[in-house]
Structure 1
Amino acid sequence: MTSAQRTVLISGANKGIGLETARQLAAEGYRVYVGTRDLANGQAAIESLHLPDADLRAIQLDVTDAASVAAAAAQIDAEVGQLDVLINNAGIAIDLAPPSQVGLDKMRQTYDVNVYGPITLTQAMLPLLRKAQTRVVVNLSSELGSTTLHGYPDFAYYGVNLAAYNMSKAALNMYTVLLAKELRDEGFHINAINPGYTATDLNNHQGTRSVQQAAAVVVKYATLDKSGPNGGFYTDGGAMPW
């Protein structure tokens, strides 16, 4: 470990894209905090990576619990003193209802994790991000949150008309733009990332992309230098329409 080692926090990182992102960043020498609601699960996930020389640390983190978020920020502050990269990866898809049938209880649950969670976590981590030089925030979004793409019948996922999930990702995209505008002059790089339709628990492993492919996109935008983009929506093919 050196003073130059960069530190990253990933929410929802005990499995899927989050865990693979942790593996790839740890392999590049990052100090990685693996955010997980259950600390034992987080530790087991780290052990499953078989990277004994990597600096991987499980940290209890429930993005819907303000006390948990505050405790995580205090722990990172005490142990490292700053945060270079925040990856808002935690997300849920719990309702398959179309707009005319979606229940408000499911909408609220979805927004609690997919929208309010990233906002709560980002705000709590801003003081630590400001202490670092890198100042990168990556928000895990989805092409399903693209208002523009949903307007085209030839969009590959035009038929995936899920109100709660799709709307939550559109809201996260807007938060990304607004926050990037606000913090641009402070040297932040804040972007929304579409990892693609990836085989994870979120879709019962029906996705067509591997977690390795998805995480590579996240890592690309988590490791930006000062010339990197800010306030955009990207996938591995480049910029995406909002």
Structure 2
Amino acid sequence: MSPVGGRPAPVRTEVRDQTLVITLDRPEARNAVDAAVAAGVAEALDHLDATAELRVGVLTGAGGTFCSGMDLKAFLAGESPMVEGRGLAGLTQRAPEKPLIAAVEGWALAGGFEIALACDLVVAAEDARFGVPEVKRGLVAAAGAALRLPELLPLPIALELLLTGDPVDARRAADLGLVNRVVPTGLALEAALELAARIAANGPLAVAASRRIARASRGWSNEEQWQRQEEVTLPVLLSEDAQEGPRAFAEKRAPRWQGR
């Protein structure tokens, strides 16, 4: 993102092969989300979705912290860390169309945890800590945690996190199913990029359809789920990529995906 007023941009982007790395870069504020961060993340996610060569996004934080949540000082000064229709950091209410992986070092606290929950996958360093301490401040974790944690966890466990505000470490988060992989401290981004490369190697239409079904099907009734799934998968089955995949397998070569 471009610097504003001579200051370094609070969100940096970098292309690694077919992956867009999005870095929250306010280490002096533990990568807390202010208006500039929210706008920067939204712009980066739009770029991810609009660029055919990019297949996956990785979201991380600079300086050994993922994100400490909303910048309370900026909020009290009148700034909003929300983007209209997209939520906190331009992400929590509306995810990008392409897979997004959180690479978490250090704290993912309050809104920072909610940002991680909005991602599709989470890679965490051993020193990572996750928590929603809003109740300790008389607030509610309303940027996604109060909605998503009961979907992802047994209700008593979700309520323990929401009502005590106490954090959990990376291993506990992994045991609960909130984290995909736990890696040595300092290697979260590297491990997330490896995971992103494995996703990017697959057929982009198939990846998009699989993700869409997995995300949307919780709201489908038993009567409609097979019909809704067919609506999503039929264009993939009729695509050129669906011919290329089996052909490449038979010819013992890597597939050349066209995304059509």
Taking structure 2 as the reference length, the TM-score comes to 0.31
Taking structure 1 as the reference length, the TM-score comes to 0.33
Greater Rg, structure 1 or structure 2? 2
Compare relative contact order (CA 8 Å, sep 6+) and give the higher one, 1 or 2. Answer: 1
